């Protein structure tokens, strides 16, 4: 049966109703709203830990359980969580655990080659709107079919990184050898199929590891396999229905959509698991295509799979030009659509500012505004105060009173700019011109109205700032 949409009134009757405020909100009703929005967790309510609320707590956990099970791969600070999704479309709430991306090594590679691939994955970094985009895991594939070779390769990877591992083989003997080398690190076993599932389920159960199920192009069979493996004592599963490009691409996308629809909209617990995809297998299926063409196909397929609900991807390597579009797409898809993308408020210092001569500017913490301003002033010697406008642009923040004279006075105090700049002149954006008088009254600083577009800041400073007297009381009119 499909789950009904969860609302605060489904949860509030089960809460202690103490209105103690220990969870953050002042009332239990407020806490119920935050639980519904998944902004807070039930463990943040101390009173409900009392044994007398055990039945209610169990019922709340049942109501809050996502239709797609969350599965943890790896241990320690680098572990990744996949699945745990609640909705089909991000605007219905948001997506939670972003698609994990793993690169591939194989046991026919020399140790130096393995270490180089791992280092390439570890080194992948791309700054993007206030965050750093990275990769998440290493998939170790058995090509030789030799348990000893696989064990040694897993050991080499394990010694080179703390990233989570995926052990890739359909031979239970090979997987057993890999588990020996990865003991205690909770790797993902990839994969069980209709022939080997009993042995693979036993290995996953005994090692306490998640297990991927692989049945290409057959949702009914993978659902049946999930029931059998779950009955064998393995709860943490991932599903792989195969992937292809060319003629099989429509079928692949359709299968992925059907699985997630069955889980979220129809409440099918046997399909309510994270989905795994392996675009890296396109390299095996190549005909006469060049490396560049295959890499392009892999990137396109991976991008489509991210959009169509895949929670873990295995790609060949971390080549920047093919991986970058994928991680940027992922970042955009998994941000919270209810919240503007913002940066940390505070003071930024550029170049080597002179306390007497360098300008002090202010802007909002809307990410697009901030990075646009950054690109225009980063080669200047200046101070930039970033006000907390709750992620709104300058004109929206002024209109909504998220940027006002008191907010400016507060950030002047909190950043300690008065101890860095000896003059008392602030340059505000042209879109905030109407705040000039109020800011002067609230802060005691002189205010200059800068250009409406940050691209004009360098020319504005050259004309209006350089060589002028910046002592308090000097008029710029």
Identify the pLDDT of residue 308: 96
**Which residue in 135, 220, 207 sits closest to 178, CA to CA?**
207
Identify the pLDDT of residue 312: 98
Question: What would the mean pLDDT of 393-420 be, rounded to a whole number?
Answer: 95
User: What does the pLDDT look like over 410-444, one tens digit per residue?
Assistant: 999 999 999 999 999 999 999 999 999 999 999 99
The span from the CA of 210 to the CA of 164, in Å, is: 12
Identify the pLDDT of residue 4: 65
CA 1 to chain centre: 30
Do 8-64 and 346-464 fold alike per CATH? no
Within 13 A of 76's CA, how many CA atoms are on the CB side?
Answer: 9
State the CATH class of domain 346-464: alpha beta
Identify the pLDDT of residue 341: 85
User: So where are the chain's domains?
Assistant: 8-64, 70-333, 346-464
User: What does the pLDDT look like over 236-253, one tens digit per residue?
Assistant: 999 999 998 877 899 999
Confidence of residue 466 (pLDDT cuts 50, 70, 90): confident
Number of helices (H), then strands (E), in the chain: 16, 17
Question: What would the mean pLDDT of 342-367 be, rounded to a whole number?
Answer: 94
Query: What fold is seen in the domain 8-64?
Result: 3-methyladenine DNA Glycosylase II; Chain A, domain 3 (1.10.15)
Locus of tokens 């080997």: 196
Phi-psi region of 84 (alpha: psi -120 to 50; beta: other; left: phi over 0): left
User: What does the pLDDT look like over 261-297, one tens digit per residue?
Assistant: 999 999 999 999 999 999 999 998 888 889 999 999 9
The full length of the chain comes to 477
Confidence of residue 3 (pLDDT cuts 50, 70, 90): low
Taking the domain 70-333, which CATH number applies?
3.20.20.20
Q: What share of the chain is helix, strand, coil (3-state, %, to 5)?
A: 45, 15, 40
CA 69 to chain centre: 18
Q: Using the CB atoms, write b or e for 97-130: b if 16+ within 10 Å.
A: bbbbbbbbbbbebeeeebbebbeebbebeeebbe
| Residue 274 and residue 326 in contact, taking contact as beta carbons nearer than 8 Å | no
**Which residue in 249, 234, 256 sits closest to 297, CA to CA?**
249
Higher pLDDT: 198 or 38? It is 198
Verify cis geometry, omega within 30 degrees of 0, for the bond prior to 248: no
- Cβ-based neighbour number of residue 306 at 10 Å: 21
Pairing label, strands 165-168, 137-141: parallel
The span from the CA of 7 to the CA of 9, in Å, is: 5
pLDDT at 473 over 60: no
Q: Which two tokens stand for residue 433?
A: 């011109």
> CB burial class (10 A; 0-12, 13-18, 19+) of residue 253?
middle
- Please report, for residues 21, 83, 218, the alpha-carbon distance to residue 68 in angstroms, rounded to integers and kept in the order given: 31, 6, 19
pLDDT at 82 over 80: yes
The span from the CA of 383 to the CA of 237, in Å, is: 52
> CB burial class (10 A; 0-12, 13-18, 19+) of residue 146?
middle
- Please report, for residues 65, 174, 412, the alpha-carbon distance to residue 40 in angstroms, rounded to integers and kept in the order given: 14, 42, 32
Question: What would the mean pLDDT of 95-109 be, rounded to a whole number?
Answer: 97
The span from the CA of 96 to the CA of 75, in Å, is: 19
Question: What would the mean pLDDT of 349-372 be, rounded to a whole number?
Answer: 94
User: What does the pLDDT look like over 117-159, one tens digit per residue?
Assistant: 999 999 999 988 878 999 999 999 999 999 999 999 999 999 9
User: What does the pLDDT look like over 162-174, one tens digit per residue?
Assistant: 999 999 999 999 9
| Residue 345 and residue 415 in contact, taking contact as beta carbons nearer than 8 Å | no
- Give the angle subtended at the CA of 138 by the CAs of 134 and 143, to the nearest 5°: 145
- Please report, for residues 46, 175, 298, 308, 440, the alpha-carbon distance to residue 135 in angstroms, rounded to integers and kept in the order given: 36, 24, 16, 19, 48
313: which strand partners?
101, 277
| Residue 136 and residue 102 in contact, taking contact as beta carbons nearer than 8 Å | yes
The span from the CA of 412 to the CA of 428, in Å, is: 13
Strand (E) or helix (H) holding 262: helix 249-264
- CA atoms 47, 52, 54, 55: torsion sign: negative
pLDDT at 320 over 90: no
- CA atoms 398, 401, 405, 408: torsion sign: negative
Identify the pLDDT of residue 476: 44
The span from the CA of 81 to the CA of 100, in Å, is: 8
Identify the pLDDT of residue 470: 63
pLDDT at 1 over 60: no
Confidence of residue 477 (pLDDT cuts 50, 70, 90): very low
Identify the pLDDT of residue 246: 74
pLDDT at 234 over 70: yes
pLDDT at 195 over 50: yes
- If you write DSSP's letter for every residue of 316-352 in order, what string do you get? S---HHHHHHHHHHHHHHSS-TTS--B---EEEEES-
């Amino acid at each position: 049966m499909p789950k009904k949409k969860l609302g605060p009134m489904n949860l509030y009757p089960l809460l202690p109703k103490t209105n103690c405020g220990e969870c953050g909100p002042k009332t239990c009703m407020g806490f119920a709203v935050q639980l519904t929005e998944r902004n807070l967790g039930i463990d943040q309510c101390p009173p409900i830990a009392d044994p007398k609320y055990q039945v209610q707590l169990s019922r709340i956990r049942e109501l809050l359980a996502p239709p797609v099970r969350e599965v943890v791969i790896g241990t320690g600070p680098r572990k990744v969580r996949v699945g745990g999704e609640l909705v089909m479309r991000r605007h219905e709430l948001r997506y939670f655990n972003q698609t994990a991306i793993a690169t591939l090594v194989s046991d026919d590679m020399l140790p130096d080659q393995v270490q180089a691939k791992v280092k390439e994955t570890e080194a992948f970094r791309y700054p993007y709107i206030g965050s750093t985009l990275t990769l998440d895991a290493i998939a170790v594939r058995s090509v030789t079919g030799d348990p000893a070779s696989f064990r040694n390769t897993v050991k080499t990877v394990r010694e080179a990184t703390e990233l989570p591992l995926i052990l890739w083989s359909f031979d239970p003997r090979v997987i057993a050898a890999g588990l020996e080398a990865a003991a205690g690190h909770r790797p993902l076993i990839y994969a069980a199929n209709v022939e080997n599932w009993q042995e693979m389920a036993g290995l996953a159960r005994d090692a306490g590891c998640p297990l991927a199920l692989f049945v290409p192009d057959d949702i009914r069979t993978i659902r049946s396999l999930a029931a059998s493996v779950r009955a064998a004592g393995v709860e943490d599963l991932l599903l792989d229905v195969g992937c292809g490009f060319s003629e099989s691409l429509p079928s692949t996308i359709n299968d992925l959509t059907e699985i997630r629809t069955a889980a979220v909209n129809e409440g099918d617990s046997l399909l309510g698991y994270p989905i795994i995809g392996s675009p890296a297998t396109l390299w095996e299926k190549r005909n006469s295509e060049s490396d560049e063409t295959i890499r392009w196909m892999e990137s396109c397929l991976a991008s489509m799979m991210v959009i169509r609900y895949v929670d873990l991807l295995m790609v060949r390597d971390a080549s920047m030009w093919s991986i970058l579009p994928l991680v940027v797409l992922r970042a955009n898809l998994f941000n919270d659509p209810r919240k503007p993308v913002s940066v940390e408020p505070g003071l930024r210092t550029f170049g080597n500012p002179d306390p007497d001569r360098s300008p002090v500017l202010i802007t909002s913490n809307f990410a697009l505004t901030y990075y646009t301003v950054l690109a225009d002033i980063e080669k200047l010697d200046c101070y930039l105060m970033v006000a907390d406008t709750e992620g709104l642009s300058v004109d929206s923040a002024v209109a909504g009173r998220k940027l006002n004279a008191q907010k400016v006075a507060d950030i002047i105090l909190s950043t300690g700019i008065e101890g860095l700049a000896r003059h008392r002149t602030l340059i505000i954006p042209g879109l905030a011109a109407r705040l000039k008088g109020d800011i002067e009254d609230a802060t005691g600083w002189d205010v200059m109205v800068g250009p409406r577009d940050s691209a004009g800041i360098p020319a504005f400073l050259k004309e209006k700032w350089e060589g002028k007297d910046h002592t308090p009381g000097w008029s710029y009119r």
